[in-house]
Structure 1
């Protein structure tokens, strides 16, 4: 070792060199390693001394779970669906007559109209002249009839005196009858023209609500023009709810329903008035038509959701925390024989904010694990604790 000696306050000061520091580091490393070995050995001795420490039993290792026996209760059948809003009876209004140029349109979408009310007026200047000509012909035919009748009456007076023959009287009778026939023809022709002129106006076939307008003044319309207005008969609306095949089988005419249009906070009450007799082979869905009273918020073509309410049935009810799902569908865990976890596939019924009704899969007498099912596995042993208010668990 290398020391440098010096005197400081009467004491000798030793200064370590590089070799001394290296030896000190080796001593610290070796000492630390020995301390770890001794600590490990002491811990092993404490936990295993004498072999007297009891081993943990499987029951001590099994998790404790809360179970419930749901039983069964009356559940109002509810089916949720989506669909579109529409007029219950939509009436397209087009050209009934020969058409022409539209001079005036008298209604706007959203306006209520009466049966037979004029919706649009078509120019009839030419038809008016034709009608006047036919009315004049009626006057001519009537005058001819009056003249023929008078000549017949004079002939009948003269035949008795021998001034004219009976054959002349017969000819005047024929002339009078022909004049009467011509009058009837002229009247029928004028009436026909009047009917044609009245059909030039576009009229509402029934009382109701104007939904769309597709015609403007100055437009030329004819038999091939197509639909000019669309109306909702009586203003009645409906929702066409799309339902799965299994749900559609449960719906009956007269079942109540609540409809909520998209973007609306309000809901509207209605009832099912028609259930589709066919199923779409592509989507496997059918339509339940829900009748609704008119409201400005019910706009045909809009999207809405509906809850259909039918009869009641007895079904078990579980909290939502008990329901699990995977690629095989919905299921719950129950505690079966020897307190082992069993999987039970279920089909859900009515879902509310509080509970979920089980339509298939449970009788209501099972011990169903209320929560924490996601941390369990089928066949795992558990310690069941029955929820207060339900039946006692067995075994």
Structure 2
């Protein structure tokens, strides 16, 4: 036995029994790798064929870009006449606030007759200040009037007697003149005393704090026993006639579109009730910091309208004709708002637009569209400018679209 015979014998011993008995050559590693690769490639091609079969088409050729283009839903919105509405925030307040305080010299409060939330009439007493000292002064002055009247009566009697005696020559003309002057002085003192009494009574009346006009009491800032004076802050705050208003903060651009007399709907925060009002004044100046002005909306009294509370106003700003798009069609980035318009050659083109008010139907486009374009309705964020797409009108059936496309090809 030589070396070659020994090698062949060892190789024969390493061959599996089933291959040795079958009489076939064993499979090499390279052949096995090629076979597995072919199976994987076949499975991949089968998966691709199944995908296009379920997608309703077949793999497109290298030159058929339209078949590979994504299908997008488009709309041709046209133009719509909409009622212009500006929605702005603001605060509620009394339209005409009347602070009521002490008019006279003041003193200790002995009674308060109303409370916040009460309705009062013009001249109604709101609070009473102690006037015991002033009453005594008035009584003393009334007594002075009686003294002055007595002096005047005595002077008149002396003058009458002198006039009777002057004819007999017992009284001179000079005496008559003197008695007449005395009588006139006494009468004048009576008038002075009466005027002083009227002044004291007027001062006493001012010790009663009264309502200057009818209205609704918003604040009560005084209690019995409190000492008040003319320098004390307002004891009561009254909304004249109960009239309220909303101070709506409006941007300068929107403020230019408003006018006095337009209607507005006010919804206070915390309630779903709405109240109708009217813009009665527009701010003549613009805040240089916020770039806003104030639109004052007059409102009738209602318990839900509490001064100092927040509210939202929807102010009518006329009508305008514009294109209205659903929110899904309007996109925005750092360059501003835009939409995708599908051209006649099915290219998606980005177009910048100017948005206006938000309506229940969608967003009003005030500039950038004529309304006759085909606008991508959804998924515009996944498109690139200039990309080829397959437009499909909103509501159209996919099969109908496929039929139209096939007819166009034929």
Contact map agreement 1:256 1:269 (CA 8 A) in 2: yes
Contact map agreement 2:324 2:361 (CA 8 A) in 1: no
Distance 1:44 1:327 in 2: 42
Pair 1:139 & 2:146 matched: yes
Pair 1:64 & 2:81 matched: no
1:121 pairs with one of 109, 125, 128? 128
SS of 1:344's equivalent? strand
SS of 2:387's equivalent? coil
How do 1:219-258 and structure 2 match up within 5 A?
219-258=226-265
Distance 1:327 1:86 in 2: 39
Distance 1:75 1:152 in 2: 94
User: Shift of the alpha carbon at 1:68?
Assistant: 2.4
Structure 1 residue ranges without an equivalent (≥5): 1-17, 48-52, 390-395
Residue 203 of structure 1 is matched in structure 2 by 210
Give TM-score scaled by structure 2 length: 0.82
Contact map agreement 1:209 1:232 (CA 8 A) in 2: yes
Distance 2:239 2:92 in 1: 12
After superposition, what is the alpha-carbon deviation per residue over 1:76-124, rounded to whole angstroms, capped at 9, x for unaligned?
1100011111111111111111110011111111000001111111111
Residue 335 of structure 1 is matched in structure 2 by 342
Size of the aligned set, in residue pairs, is: 365
Residue 106 of structure 1 is matched in structure 2 by 113
User: Shift of the alpha carbon at 1:337?
Assistant: 6.0
User: Shift of the alpha carbon at 1:355?
Assistant: 2.3
Contact map agreement 1:81 1:243 (CA 8 A) in 2: yes
Contact map agreement 1:320 1:354 (CA 8 A) in 2: no
Residue 290 of structure 1 is matched in structure 2 by 297
User: Shift of the alpha carbon at 1:345?
Assistant: 2.7
Residue 266 of structure 1 is matched in structure 2 by 273
Pair 1:364 & 2:374 matched: no
SS of 1:101's equivalent? strand
Contact map agreement 1:90 1:230 (CA 8 A) in 2: yes
User: Shift of the alpha carbon at 1:358?
Assistant: 1.8
Distance 1:222 1:45 in 2: 100
Residue 85 of structure 2 is matched in structure 1 by 78
User: Shift of the alpha carbon at 1:56?
Assistant: 4.5
Residue 181 of structure 1 is matched in structure 2 by 188
Give the root-mean-square deviation of aligned CA atoms: 2.9
How do 1:141-160 and structure 2 match up within 5 A?
141-160=148-167
User: Shift of the alpha carbon at 1:307?
Assistant: 0.7
Which is further off, 132-141 or 143-152? 143-152
Pair 1:190 & 2:197 matched: yes
Residue 39 of structure 2 is matched in structure 1 by 39
Q: Classify 1:19/1:215 alpha carbon distance in 2 versus 1 (closer, same or farther; 3 Å).
A: farther
Structure 2 residue ranges without an equivalent (≥5): 1-13, 20-25, 49-59, 397-410
SS of 2:103's equivalent? coil
Residue 407 of structure 2 is matched in structure 1 by none
Q: Classify 1:129/1:375 alpha carbon distance in 2 versus 1 (closer, same or farther; 3 Å).
A: same
User: Shift of the alpha carbon at 1:40?
Assistant: 5.8
Residue 326 of structure 1 is matched in structure 2 by 333
Which is further off, 64-73 or 299-308? 64-73
After superposition, what is the alpha-carbon deviation per residue over 1:239-263, rounded to whole angstroms, capped at 9, x for unaligned?
1111111111111111111111111
Q: Classify 1:374/1:210 alpha carbon distance in 2 versus 1 (closer, same or farther; 3 Å).
A: same
Contact map agreement 2:268 2:309 (CA 8 A) in 1: yes
Give TM-score scaled by structure 1 length: 0.85
Q: Classify 1:158/1:244 alpha carbon distance in 2 versus 1 (closer, same or farther; 3 Å).
A: same
Distance 1:233 1:347 in 2: 45
User: Shift of the alpha carbon at 1:45?
Assistant: 11
Structure 1 runs of 4+ aligned residues shifted over 3 Å read 18-21, 26-32, 37-47, 336-339, 385-389
Distance 1:137 1:324 in 2: 91
Q: Classify 1:110/1:29 alpha carbon distance in 2 versus 1 (closer, same or farther; 3 Å).
A: farther
Q: Classify 1:129/1:58 alpha carbon distance in 2 versus 1 (closer, same or farther; 3 Å).
A: same
Distance 2:257 2:336 in 1: 22
User: Shift of the alpha carbon at 1:382?
Assistant: 2.2
User: Shift of the alpha carbon at 1:31?
Assistant: 6.8
